[in-house]
Copies of this chain bind each other. A is one copy, B any other.
Amino acid sequence: MAKGIPFTDIVRDLPATVPFVGPEALERRTGRPFALRIGANESAFGVSPKALEAIRQAAEEISWYGDPENFELREALAAKHGVATDEICVAGGIDSLLGLVVTMTVSPGTSVVTSLGGYPTFNYHVAIAGGALKTVPYRENHEDLDGLLEAVRRHGAPLVFLANPDNPMGTWHDAAPVSAFIEALPETTLLILDEAYIEFAPDGTAPPIDTAETRVIRMRTFSKVYGMAGARIGYCIGNKELIQGLNKVRSHFEVNRIAQAGALASLGDPEFVDHVIRSVEAGRRALYGLAERLGLGTFPSATNFVAIDMGSRERALATLAALQERGIFTRMPGVAPQDRCIRVTVGTPEQIELFAETFETALAESS
């Protein structure tokens, strides 16, 4: 470490970790492009044709900054969710929003509660802020609501994270226990409810949106069902005091003009969203069936991916490597006991067929 650089104590002590290695980095290591990219829960069903047209048009105005207020999009989102425009904040994806909420609520030493093996990018932001992460193990492959609540109380944590549906297991809690969890939180604790995958979940998974409640901020994204991961745009819904706090710390010109246009157009194509949801449901069933034929367990998923139980971390790692060797990019949970699984993003029927053949071959050879 060059001795002169005036790093803060926190940054000096941070490890040089990255939350996720991209498939491009793996391709550079092996020198071969992947034939199938089903590891990052990117949508296999693309974007709405309306969004693509809006994106093409916006490209003509790429020399202009996007609207720093994201006004038209917030108006459309407010109408969709039945809230006010000042109860919505748009940013460059949920990853960015997580960083903003952490900046807003976490000082060095602040206790923050999340699940052990939950979304790593959240943990990454907490570490940058100098927060003290308190983790709660999964219970029966679900994030443990009772355990999270108990940890919040024990540590007096002002911030707790819950993904519902969950990533990386794909499991979920119904609205009623999530609402009860929020109700039970101390008045001075904020829940980040990450609902990146909520559109894929059964009706009755999302609690009703109540912006009078200051103890929860809901996060949504255009990266999953809307198929715009590469555009970087997401939003949150919450009490307007929370949103005002975010407005004090967000980068106002962060969201690019193309993402704004594509997101707005996406909202005008609910038929496309329905098509994606139905396609993902069919794909999940195909993956459940495949695993069953191969004698492997799965977990019912409310997301666009399925976690397949390989029985042990060693076998999961070997399977991941065998798939990668055969040109298929998947990922696996990083932390025990979830790390006995591989996480497979739902592809198109053709992609699932290719995965099935390759997976079966890989298993046969390794057994």
Contact = CB atoms under 8 A, between A and B. Distances in A.
Interface of A: 1-11, 14-22, 24-25, 28, 37, 40, 42-47, 52, 55-56, 58-69, 71, 92-93, 95-96, 99, 103-107, 110, 121, 128, 158-159, 187-190, 214-215, 223, 227-232, 239, 241-242, 244-245, 247-249, 251-259, 262
A16 B247 contact: yes
A102 to B, nearest CB: 10
A99 B252 CA distance: 12
B20 A68 contact: yes
Given A8-B107, A63-B229, A231-B256, 18 more contacts: A2-B214, A2-B242, A4-B187, A4-B215, A5-B239, A6-B159, A8-B106, A10-B107, A22-B253, A24-B67, A42-B64, A46-B63, A63-B228, A63-B230, A92-B92, A92-B251, A230-B257, A230-B258
A2, A14, A61: most-surrounded residue (chain B CB, <10 A): A2
Given A107-B9, A230-B258, A20 B252 contact: yes
B254 A256 contact: no
B11 A249 contact: yes
Contacts of A58: 230
A37, A45, A232: most-surrounded residue (chain B CB, <10 A): A232
A258 B232 CA distance: 10
Nearest to A251: B95
B56 A262 contact: no
A58 to B, nearest CB: 7
Contacts of A93: 253-254
Contact of A24 (B46, B69, B245, B251): B69
Given A6-B105, A92-B92, A214-B2, A232 B248 contact: no
- The copy count of this chain in the complex is 2
A73 B140 CA distance: 44
Contact of A69 (B25, B106, B121): B25
Contacts of A52: 59-60, 62
Contact of A245 (B7, B158, B223): B7
Contacts of A258: 55, 59, 230-231, 256, 258
Contacts of A229: 62-65
Contact of A214 (B5, B107, B257): B5
A65, A69, A190, A249: most-surrounded residue (chain B CB, <10 A): A65
A19 B252 contact: yes
Contacts of A99: 251
B22 A65 contact: yes
B8 A105 contact: yes
A9 B7 CA distance: 22
A119 to B, nearest CB: 13
Given A104-B7, A230-B256, A256-B256, A249 B67 contact: no
A345 to B, nearest CB: 11
Contact of A71 (B15, B28, B43, B227): B28
Contact of A25 (B28, B55, B71, B257): B71
5 contacts: A8-B103, A8-B105, A55-B59, A62-B228, A99-B251
Contact of A1 (B25, B47, B241, B252): B241
A5 B256 contact: no
A77 to B, nearest CB: 16
A217 to B, nearest CB: 10
A71 B175 CA distance: 42
B22 A68 contact: yes
